[in-house]
A = this chain, B = another copy of it.
Amino acid sequence: MSIAETPEPPYTAVIFTSVRSDRDEGYDQTAARMFALAARQPGYLGVESAHDPLGITVSYWVDAAAAAAWKRVAEHLVAQRRGRDAWYADYRVRVCTVGRDYGRRGPPPGDPGSEAPGMGTVRP
C-alpha cells in the first residue's frame, strides 16, 4: 500500500478508526473484498490503511455523495453488520472535507525545494 494519489482539494475523506475484538471469523477475507469493491465504486479516489496499534483506514472520494453511496452498497452493508456484531470492540467514523493538502511529490529527500512534512500538522 502506498500514499493515495488524490486530486486537488476539495474532496471527501472518511476516517475509520477501530479497535478490533478478539474475534476473527473471516475478517481478513472480508476486508480484502471490501477494499477491492470500494475501488470499483463511482467517485473513489483511493485508500490508505494502517493497523498498529489502532486500525486507521482513510478512504477518499470525489464528494460526500460518492462516499454515502458506497456506504449503501449491499455487500458492504453486510460487512458493516459483521463488523458491528463481531470484529470491532470500538470504532469511530469521521466524514471530512479536505480543504488543503501538501507533501512530497517527486523531489528526493533533502531537496531544498521539497515541502516540509507535518508529523500530523498543518501548514498555515
User: What is the interface of chain A, defined by CB distance below 8 A to chain B?
Assistant: 1-4, 6, 9, 12-19, 21, 31, 34, 38, 47-59, 64, 67-68, 70-72, 76-77, 79-81, 83-104, 109-110, 114-124
Q: For the complex, what is the distance from the CA of A22 to the CA of B2, rounded to whole Å? A: 16
Given contacts A50-B50, A97-B99, is CB(A59)–CB(B90) below 8 Å?
Answer: no
- Contact residues of A: prevailing secondary structure: mixed
Copies in the complex: 2
Contact call B101/A94, Cβ cutoff below 8 A: yes
A–B pairs, 25, beta carbons within 8 Å: A2-B19, A3-B54, A4-B17, A6-B94, A16-B117, A17-B48, A31-B119, A34-B120, A48-B56, A49-B54, A49-B120, A50-B50, A50-B51, A50-B53, A57-B119, A68-B124, A70-B121, A71-B124, A84-B117, A92-B102, A93-B103, A93-B122, A95-B122, A96-B98, A97-B99
Smallest Cβ distance from A62 to chain B, in angstroms?
13
Question: Judging by beta carbons under 8 Å apart, are B80 and A116 in contact?
Answer: yes
Q: A48-B17, A118-B80, A122-B64 are in contact. Are A3 and B85 (CB under 8 A)?
A: no
Residues of the B chain whose Cβ atoms lie less than 8 Å from the Cβ of A117: 16, 18, 80, 83-84, 87-88, 91, 93
